[in-house]
Protein backbone atom coordinates (compact mmCIF):
# COMPACT_ATOMS: atom_id res chain seq x y z
CA UNK A 1 0.00 0.00 0.00
CA UNK A 2 1.16 3.51 -0.69
CA UNK A 3 0.08 7.06 0.03
CA UNK A 4 -2.23 6.62 -2.95
CA UNK A 5 -4.60 4.24 -1.15
CA UNK A 6 -7.06 4.65 1.70
CA UNK A 7 -9.97 2.69 3.09
CA UNK A 8 -13.45 3.97 3.68
CA UNK A 9 -16.49 2.41 5.30
CA UNK A 10 -19.97 3.71 4.67
CA UNK A 11 -21.46 3.14 8.10
CA UNK A 12 -24.76 1.35 8.90
CA UNK A 13 -26.70 4.56 9.56
CA UNK A 14 -25.80 5.95 6.14
CA UNK A 15 -26.59 2.62 4.44
CA UNK A 16 -29.91 2.42 6.32
CA UNK A 17 -30.81 5.99 5.33
CA UNK A 18 -30.12 5.18 1.65
CA UNK A 19 -27.18 7.59 1.34
CA UNK A 20 -24.68 5.04 -0.04
CA UNK A 21 -25.18 5.94 -3.68
CA UNK A 22 -24.84 9.66 -3.02
CA UNK A 23 -21.69 9.10 -0.96
CA UNK A 24 -20.12 6.87 -3.62
CA UNK A 25 -20.98 9.47 -6.28
CA UNK A 26 -19.31 12.20 -4.22
CA UNK A 27 -16.20 10.02 -3.81
CA UNK A 28 -15.98 9.35 -7.55
CA UNK A 29 -16.67 13.00 -8.42
CA UNK A 30 -13.76 14.00 -6.17
CA UNK A 31 -11.40 11.96 -8.36
CA UNK A 32 -11.02 8.81 -6.26
CA UNK A 33 -10.82 5.48 -8.06
CA UNK A 34 -12.55 2.56 -6.34
CA UNK A 35 -10.06 -0.30 -6.36
CA UNK A 36 -12.26 -2.74 -4.41
CA UNK A 37 -15.73 -2.53 -2.88
CA UNK A 38 -18.12 -4.82 -1.04
CA UNK A 39 -20.99 -4.88 1.43
CA UNK A 40 -20.50 -6.79 4.68
CA UNK A 41 -22.18 -7.11 8.05
CA UNK A 42 -19.69 -6.99 10.92
CA UNK A 43 -20.05 -9.34 13.85
CA UNK A 44 -19.33 -7.98 17.32
CA UNK A 45 -16.00 -9.85 17.32
CA UNK A 46 -14.91 -8.45 13.95
CA UNK A 47 -15.94 -4.88 14.79
CA UNK A 48 -14.16 -5.16 18.16
CA UNK A 49 -11.01 -6.35 16.43
CA UNK A 50 -11.16 -3.66 13.74
CA UNK A 51 -11.59 -0.86 16.29
CA UNK A 52 -9.31 -2.36 18.99
CA UNK A 53 -7.06 0.69 18.61
CA UNK A 54 -9.84 2.57 20.45
CA UNK A 55 -10.59 -0.10 23.09
CA UNK A 56 -9.57 2.10 26.03
CA UNK A 57 -11.62 5.08 24.90
CA UNK A 58 -15.05 5.82 26.37
CA UNK A 59 -16.83 5.62 23.00
CA UNK A 60 -15.48 2.18 22.05
CA UNK A 61 -18.47 0.01 23.05
CA UNK A 62 -20.99 2.37 21.45
CA UNK A 63 -18.89 2.48 18.27
CA UNK A 64 -18.80 -1.32 18.07
CA UNK A 65 -22.56 -1.45 18.71
CA UNK A 66 -23.20 1.11 15.99
CA UNK A 67 -20.94 -0.63 13.46
CA UNK A 68 -22.72 -3.96 14.01
CA UNK A 69 -26.23 -2.51 13.69
CA UNK A 70 -26.49 -3.26 9.96
CA UNK A 71 -24.52 -3.74 6.77
CA UNK A 72 -21.62 -1.47 5.80
CA UNK A 73 -19.97 -0.77 2.46
CA UNK A 74 -16.20 -1.06 2.52
CA UNK A 75 -14.06 0.35 -0.27
CA UNK A 76 -10.40 0.82 -1.15
CA UNK A 77 -9.89 4.20 -2.74
CA UNK A 78 -6.98 5.39 -4.83
CA UNK A 79 -5.79 8.95 -5.41
CA UNK A 80 -2.57 10.87 -4.77
CA UNK A 81 -2.20 11.73 -1.06
CA UNK A 82 -5.28 9.56 -0.45
CA UNK A 83 -5.37 9.37 3.35
CA UNK A 84 -4.89 13.04 4.13
CA UNK A 85 -7.05 14.28 1.28
CA UNK A 86 -9.87 11.87 2.13
CA UNK A 87 -9.84 12.91 5.79
CA UNK A 88 -10.31 16.52 4.70
CA UNK A 89 -12.91 15.52 2.11
CA UNK A 90 -15.14 13.69 4.62
CA UNK A 91 -14.98 16.40 7.30
CA UNK A 92 -14.71 16.46 11.06
CA UNK A 93 -15.61 13.39 13.12
CA UNK A 94 -18.38 15.49 14.63
CA UNK A 95 -20.87 16.19 11.83
CA UNK A 96 -21.98 19.39 13.60
CA UNK A 97 -18.42 20.73 13.21
CA UNK A 98 -17.77 19.36 9.71
CA UNK A 99 -17.27 21.85 6.90
CA UNK A 100 -20.43 22.48 4.88
CA UNK A 101 -20.67 20.12 1.93
CA UNK A 102 -18.43 17.38 3.34
CA UNK A 103 -19.79 13.85 3.58
CA UNK A 104 -20.07 13.94 7.36
CA UNK A 105 -21.75 17.35 7.27
CA UNK A 106 -24.31 16.15 4.75
CA UNK A 107 -25.00 12.62 5.98
CA UNK A 108 -23.69 12.23 9.54
CA UNK A 109 -26.11 12.30 12.46
CA UNK A 110 -23.74 12.01 15.45
CA UNK A 111 -20.10 11.39 16.39
CA UNK A 112 -20.63 7.61 16.08
CA UNK A 113 -23.00 7.75 13.16
CA UNK A 114 -20.92 10.18 11.14
CA UNK A 115 -21.67 8.41 7.83
CA UNK A 116 -18.16 7.21 6.94
CA UNK A 117 -14.89 5.93 8.32
CA UNK A 118 -11.62 7.03 6.75
CA UNK A 119 -8.15 5.68 7.50
CA UNK A 120 -6.08 8.11 9.59
CA UNK A 121 -2.59 7.12 8.37
CA UNK A 122 -0.94 5.22 5.53
CA UNK A 123 -0.03 2.47 8.02
CA UNK A 124 -3.61 2.11 9.22
CA UNK A 125 -4.89 2.20 5.63
CA UNK A 126 -2.68 -0.81 4.85
CA UNK A 127 -3.81 -2.65 8.00
CA UNK A 128 -7.48 -1.85 7.38
CA UNK A 129 -7.28 -2.87 3.71
CA UNK A 130 -5.84 -6.25 4.74
CA UNK A 131 -8.58 -6.64 7.34
CA UNK A 132 -11.36 -6.39 4.76
CA UNK A 133 -9.80 -7.43 1.44
CA UNK A 134 -7.66 -10.38 0.44
CA UNK A 135 -4.71 -9.79 -1.86
CA UNK A 136 -6.77 -11.25 -4.72
CA UNK A 137 -9.52 -8.65 -4.19
CA UNK A 138 -7.15 -5.69 -4.45
CA UNK A 139 -6.20 -4.67 -7.97
Q: Does the model's pTM come out above 0.85?
A: yes
pLDDT of residue 135: 87
HSE, side-chain direction, 13 A CA sphere, residue 42: 24
Q: Which among 86, 69, 68 is positioned nearest to 77, based on CA atoms?
A: 86
Chain centroid offset of residue 31 CA:
17
pLDDT of residue 113: 93
Is 117 a residue of the active site? Answer: yes
Per-residue pLDDT 10s for the chain (139 aa) are 467 999 999 999 999 999 999 999 999 999 999 999 999 999 999 999 999 988 999 989 999 999 999 999 999 999 999 999 999 999 999 999 999 999 999 999 998 899 999 999 999 999 999 999 998 887 6
Residue 137 backbone dihedrals phi, psi, to 5 degrees: -80, -15
pLDDT of residue 138: 74
Strand order from edge to edge, sheet including 72-78: 33-40, 72-78, 5-10, 116-118
Given 19, 44, 54, 117, which residue is catalytic? 117
Give ∠ CA 46-32-26 in degrees, rounded to 5: 85
HSE, side-chain direction, 13 A CA sphere, residue 85: 14
pLDDT of residue 2: 60
Amino acid sequence: MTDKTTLTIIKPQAVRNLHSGKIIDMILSAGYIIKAIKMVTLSHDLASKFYEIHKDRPFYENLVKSMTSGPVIVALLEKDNAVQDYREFIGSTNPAEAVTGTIRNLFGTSMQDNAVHGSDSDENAAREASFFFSEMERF
